Structure 1
Amino acid sequence: MSIDTTERYRRAIETRDVALALSAFAPDAVVHSPLTSRVRFTGHAELEPLLEVAYAHLRDVRFHTDTGDASTRVVVYTARVGGEEMEEAAVLKLGEDGLIAEATLFVRPLPGLVALMDAFGPDIARRNGRTFAARLLSVATKPLLAMVRSGDRHAVPLAGPKRPERV
């Protein structure tokens, strides 16, 4: 039963099928945001717009891990969002019916996480009727994304292992 649920979850993301994704979640399922512990989405009514936004922005999705048991699964995939590579791990707690009762999402690396925030935040705020928050999020995330991208390309390699210089 748990493999069937994660297979539906996987196929839904790969095909951007919101109805298929919702069929893998319990009606009162809770999804914990990878951005903050202050935000969670509860029930199909809140999950549906979240999934619509996610599927509008995720590209090149490739699952590489599905592991666990009948009560807890971990699925991991790589994708692109806003031109950045990202990897998401979802810890899925399954109910007795085999459906996802709770999902906790983790995203890496930092540029991918910030690109996700830049893409998803304004769209989700707009769908929730919070147009001012959508504009604010859109403006606020741009400098953060630029700083993170620059740091990832230029500063982070300086802290890594020293490599021999090429001749």
Structure 2
Amino acid sequence: MSHQEFRRAVELHDRELISAALAPDVVVHSPVTARPFTGKDVVTKLIYAARAGVDGFVYTDEILADGVAGLIFKGKIKGRPAEGMDLVRLTDTGLVYDLTVMIRPLFAGAAFNEVMAPVVAELLG
């Protein structure tokens, strides 16, 4: 596996492929909450829902280093332009073990928070 499998899974918005690209103990640092999300099942749901919340989602660029990929994206959230980055850290076998999501500008982050609020509330219990 590699960052490309994760990228493809997100681009295709495929829940099974997203899950297959994640390490069992994966951690996501979300722009919506300071508390990280952990575990493959929770993170799969979160990524799948987040991808659904960005219309016209497309990765535009990659920044690569050993075991790390910065995947730059753009799209629209609630009809407003947004861009951001998925900072992906990979295990030796190429599975995602840590993901930090960043979104800009501020209004896009606020719109993303609105879109994700029900999912986050469910996942946080």
TM-score, normalised with respect to structure 2: 0.88
Return closer, same or farther for 1:36/1:123 CA change in 2, 3 Å cut-off: closer
Q: How far is the alpha carbon of 1:66 from its aligned partner?
A: 1.3
Task: Report whether the alignment pairs 1:57 with 2:36.
Answer: no
Q: Give the aligned partner of residue 115 of structure 1.
A: 111
Give, in whole Å, the separation in 2 of the partners of 1:113 and 1:53: 15
Q: How far is the alpha carbon of 1:36 from its aligned partner?
A: 3.5
What amino acid is the match of 2:118?
A: P
Unpaired stretches in structure 1, ≥5 consecutive residues: 131-167
Task: Report whether the alignment pairs 1:33 with 2:30.
Answer: yes
Q: Which has the higher helix share?
A: 1
Q: Which has the higher strand share?
A: 2
Give, in whole Å, the separation in 2 of the partners of 1:106 and 1:52: 16
What amino acid is the match of 1:27?
A: P
Aligned residues: 125
Q: Give the aligned partner of residue 7 of structure 2.
A: 10
Aligned-residue Cα RMSD (Å) equals: 1.8
Q: How far is the alpha carbon of 1:80 from its aligned partner?
A: 1.2
Structure with larger Rg? 1
Unpaired stretches in structure 2, ≥5 consecutive residues: none
**8 Å contact kept, 1:94–1:100:** yes
More contact order relative to length (CA 8 Å, sep ≥ 6):
2
Return closer, same or farther for 1:22/1:109 CA change in 2, 3 Å cut-off: same
**8 Å contact kept, 1:70–1:98:** no
What amino acid is the match of 1:33?
A: S
Give, in whole Å, the separation in 2 of the partners of 1:99 and 1:128: 22
Q: How far is the alpha carbon of 1:129 from its aligned partner?
A: 8.0
Q: Give the aligned partner of residue 73 of structure 1.
A: 69
Identity of aligned residues (%): 27
Q: How far is the alpha carbon of 1:124 from its aligned partner?
A: 2.9
Q: How far is the alpha carbon of 1:86 from its aligned partner?
A: 1.1
